[in-house]
Amino acid sequence: MNVSAIGPRQGGQPTTEMINEDAHSLPQNNALMPDRGHHGHADNVIAESQANECPVISMSSFASEAKSHNIVSVLNETDCNTFRQMERHRHRGARRHTLVMGPSGSGKTYLSMALGSRGINAHDADTIDGLSGWRDKGGTRVRYPPNADKWFLDNHAFSWDRKVLIHFLSRHDTVYLFGISRNVFEMLDLFDNVFFLKVPPDLQVERLRDPSRTNPMGRTDCQVEYALYWARRNEKIARKLRIPMLDATGSPEQTFSQIRPQVVK
């Protein structure tokens, strides 16, 4: 399976420990947002990695590694059969599932709508029934308050339901899914191609503050700070996994032109 997606960083395969360290570990006070002192370290890591190219490599070895380390959630027999069917189709070249992730304000919703209007099977993950939602630390789904404060953001996480994602992908031969979640890095083995939308912080803030934006995230200073932090953190993880970066400052056509050559290989 020749795909553009994630692969091993120099020195070996990405491990469960690495993903857990970067994607799931919380500061010692259990807050989901760190103090500003953590930002400088993340920025240094990102700056150091910007010179490294993200080659087109196979993700099959990572999927195998992820499963062996129990990164993949335990599924019931029906879900497993659906997953096996998806894998068989992939090996026959019949399916092409592409994930385009990016932080709040990177243009995921706009891009999915623009590409969809041009006849491309593109979906905003937030519109898939039952896929995403905010959950407390016990896993209970809760409603997101429009003016969510620091306490809410520190004690809840926006996550995807793996079973719902598997069933959604099983209904599409070729699909481009635009979205992000706290557990998105646990879903990468379900995709043939994975990309990361990179947006400059100033443009991200401008988009978050846009009055025409329908997503409630970014309406307060606290929410903007939260979005900027997770943008840096997720980009750091994506670079460690050598996920190709996409320039999110251009038109939908320009963004798609960065994706399509790698998807059709």
pLDDT digits (tens, 9 = 90+) for 196-226: 999 999 999 999 999 888 888 888 999 999 9
From residue 132, how far is each of 115, 157, 180 by CA, in Å?
Answer: 22, 10, 9
Packing angle, helices 162-170 and 77-91, rounded to 10: 40
The residue with greater pLDDT, 261 or 19, is 261
Contacts of 158 (CB under 8 A, 6+ apart): 132, 133, 134, 135, 144, 181, 182
Give just the sign of the alpha carbon dihedral 9, 177, 179, 250. positive
Q: Is the pLDDT of residue 60 over 80?
A: no
CATH architecture for residues 16-263:
3-Layer(aba) Sandwich (3.40)
**Mean pLDDT on 111-130:** 95
Q: Is the pLDDT of residue 120 over 90?
A: yes
pLDDT, residue 252, reads 87
Task: For tokens 């992000």, name the residue.
Answer: 180
Q: How far apart are CA 73 and CA 224, in angstroms?
A: 31
pLDDT, residue 30, reads 34
Alpha helices for the chain (secondary structure H): 16-19, 37-49, 60-68, 77-91, 108-117, 150-155, 162-170, 201-208, 221-240, 252-263
Residue 101 sits at φ, ψ, to 5 deg, of -100, 160
93: confidence class by pLDDT, cuts 50, 70, 90: low
Query: What are the sequence ranges of the domains in the chain?
Result: 16-263
Residue 166 DSSP SS3: helix
pLDDT, residue 43, reads 40
Q: How far apart are CA 2 and CA 233, in angstroms?
A: 28
**Mean pLDDT on 228-257:** 93
**Among candidates 58, 54, 55, 65, which has minimal Cα distance to 2?**
58
Q: Is the pLDDT of residue 24 over 60?
A: no
52: confidence class by pLDDT, cuts 50, 70, 90: very low
Residue 96 DSSP SS3: strand
Contacts of 132 (CB under 8 A, 6+ apart): 125, 126, 158, 159, 160, 161, 179, 181
Q: Is the pLDDT of residue 235 over 50?
A: yes
**Mean pLDDT on 8-13:** 32
pTM over 0.75, yes/no: no
pLDDT, residue 238, reads 96
Share of the chain above pLDDT 70, in %: 64
Q: How far apart are CA 227 and CA 248, in angstroms?
A: 16
Q: Is the pLDDT of residue 88 over 80?
A: no
Q: Per the structure block, which two tokens stand in for 173?
A: 């031969």
Strand order in the sheet with 193-198: 122-124, 174-178, 96-101, 193-198, 245-247
Contacts of 52 (CB under 8 A, 6+ apart): 239, 242
The distance of Cα 16 from the centroid of its chain, to the nearest Å, equals: 17
